[in-house]
Amino acid sequence: MTSPVTHATKQSFKRTLLGLAVAQALLALPLAAHGANVGNALCPGEEVLFDPGNGQDITVPDGYTVSVFASGLNFPTGIAFRATGEDGFEVYVLESGHGLPSRCNDEIGWQKARLPGNPFTPDILVFSSSGRLLRTLGKPTDATSETGGTNTLLPHGPAVDVAFENGLAGGRLFATDSNQATHTHNGQNNSSRIVTVDPTTGKVTPFISNLPTGDHPTEQLAFKGGWVYWSQGSTTNSGVVGLDNGGGGNQPDIPCQDIVLSQNVFDSGNGIHTSGYSPFGTTRPGATVKAFEGASHHGVCDGAVLRTRLNVPNPADTIEPYAWGFRNGYAIRFAPQNHPLHGGLLVGEDGADERGARPSYGAPEVLSLASQNADGTPGYHGWPDRYGFLPTTQSVFNPVGGPADDLCVPDPSNLPSRCTAASLARILSETVPIRDVLAAPPQPVTAPLALESADSSYTAIDFVPDSFVASPVRPGAILYTLEGDFGFSAANGSPEVGHEVRLMNVAGQGAGPLSLSFSNFARNTTGDQAFVTGIHGMNRPTNLRFGPDGCAWVVDYGAVRDAGQSGVDTKFKNPADALLLQIPNTGVIFRICRD
């Protein structure tokens, strides 16, 4: 678990980075002035306060220091490192592009307006270890294209992750991208991909194409034993295509095993009913749905962790599900072999929202240890009919009514639901309790290791190196990021959980019992997103990886004005700008190091 570079080298890196990172990163990229209002040129009036400073309003335990490596980025979600000779390394930061639904997050509109740059098309920024921008890789030149031009990332987004197959030693650089922004239908079902990117020229080469796309695309990457693993999120919110899925235009979920549907169908209003794992408006109660139905490749399904062999002529021919029954098992990471989890795959899953044809309130985020069964079939973790340890029929998950429910008729004056009284009554009559999608699970359900608060949103997991250990961080500890909610429901507590880095200490070697303990590690002093009050802190941490310097590198997506159910200060100003409005030039890369 020790880092590939020596302790002395790490200290040298720290001194260099702490002295130069902010200044050089600011010189490298066009930034808004610190403390200024920053907005989205396509939707004036939605400005936010942006001033990351040096992260001085992020609280961390004594003995650790926060700094800013790069600032003013556009929606970063991935980070990777590659050694460059004697004690040097490069930093690869993936900017995701158009990832959230709003008329304001429009890569084509930005291009047609002839605005400089295009924050809503993806790319990979390559920095030196001292924070100097070296080159930009894979950025599409034509946002109106369906292919992104020649040898580039797809223009419509989101791109999600970037990783070298051999870690710091390099090898091929992999990335994930898609041509359909989350929750928005633009005719690009099955548009997700895994690609390789030349780390020098930026040439993008498809590795596997035609992967599912919908609510959640192809997401994070992990490598082990000659395989590449990836999280393939569900195409829907809770197993049923609803109006929240591009007005019903998105593809249905794809099972990893044969399943039998329940007798239940789900109401989107106007006489439209839909069964689970079925196209919008299709009812087939009690039907058997075969594994991989609707997939472009055998072995492809969603709500899953999939894998394929790295070094074969046709990787798509070797795709197989490793585990499934996750709504959105976004964050994946293998434990070291000498860890109490013995090389197992941790999956951080983001729970269902209150929206669509099968709305859910208070579904937790779930941490699971995933594996294949001994016979090579994928392990099963319970979604869509189990949230964490409990069946979805439990009253704790009953929807309370909200503006994103399919049956809601909007009435902004009727708080807190923002639905007319009649439509709210219909929601509470038809969707309470939540009804099962499946007649029965396809196999016994594997229980999770732990839960996190509803709407806190797992986005990354990494295992600490020995050099990072100091109280309260113990050997074998894990850091993970929580992006926070998007305002579909009321706040998950006071203070709200999310927009932070959390610590999980793991104990239990050999025959001893496994023990997990949890605590805050890095959190804004206000407990809320930085832009709400303009503090020097985080907005939406979307990744965390330990670098070759032994520090935790935290990727912050930036500011998003959201549906506002959990706080009016985060809500979009103009209702026409809904649902989730991205603010360019507010992404940041923070570093947390031992003193």
Domain boundaries, the chain: 7-398+433-594
DSSP symbol at 566 = T
The pTM for the full model equals 0.92
Does the pLDDT value for residue 213 go beyond 80? yes
Residue in this structure with the two tokens 């400073």, named with its chain if needed = 53
Per-residue pLDDT tens for 108-144?
A: 999 999 999 999 999 999 999 999 999 999 999 999 8
Q: How much is the average pLDDT of 496-510?
A: 87
Q: Give the pLDDT of residue 187.
A: 53
Q: How much is the average pLDDT of 265-270?
A: 98
Report the 10 Å Cβ neighbour count for 421.
11
Residue in this structure with the two tokens 């030349």, named with its chain if needed = 198
Does the pLDDT value for residue 325 go beyond 80? yes
Measured between its terminal Cα atoms, the distance across the chain in Å is 19
Phi, psi of 234, deg, nearest 5:
-65, 150
Tokens of residue 388, six digits: 């964490």
Residues 209 and 189: their CA atoms lie apart, in Å, by 12
Residues 289 and 254: their CA atoms lie apart, in Å, by 9
Residues 160 and 154: their CA atoms lie apart, in Å, by 12
* 55, amino acid identity: G
Alpha-helix runs per DSSP H in 459-549: 530-533
Per-residue pLDDT tens for 351-398?
A: 999 999 999 999 999 999 999 999 999 999 999 999 999 999 999 999
* 568, amino acid identity: V
Tokens of residue 6, six digits: 């020596």
* Residue 8 pLDDT level (bands cut at 50, 70, 90): very low
* 534, amino acid identity: G
Residue in this structure with the two tokens 């007798």, named with its chain if needed = 263
Whole-number average pLDDT of the chain: 91
410 or 146: which leads in pLDDT: 410
Q: What ranges make up the beta strands (E) of 371-469?
A: 379-380, 386-387, 390-391, 450-452, 458-463
* Residue 509 pLDDT level (bands cut at 50, 70, 90): low
Q: DSSP of 228-288, one letter per residue?
A: EEEEE--SSSSSS--TTTGGGTSPPP--SS-EEB-S--EE-STT-EE-TTS-TT---TT-E
Q: Give the pLDDT of residue 516.
A: 94
Residues 243 and 248: their CA atoms lie apart, in Å, by 5
Contact indicator for 493, 471 with CB cutoff of 8 Å: no
Contact indicator for 538, 499 with CB cutoff of 8 Å: yes
Q: Write the CATH number of the domain with boundaries 7-398+433-594.
A: 2.120.10.30
At a CB cut-off of 8 Å and minimum separation 6, what does 18 contact?
A: 65, 67, 593
Which class for 142: exposed (0-12), middle (13-18), buried (19 or more C-beta within 10 A)?
A: middle
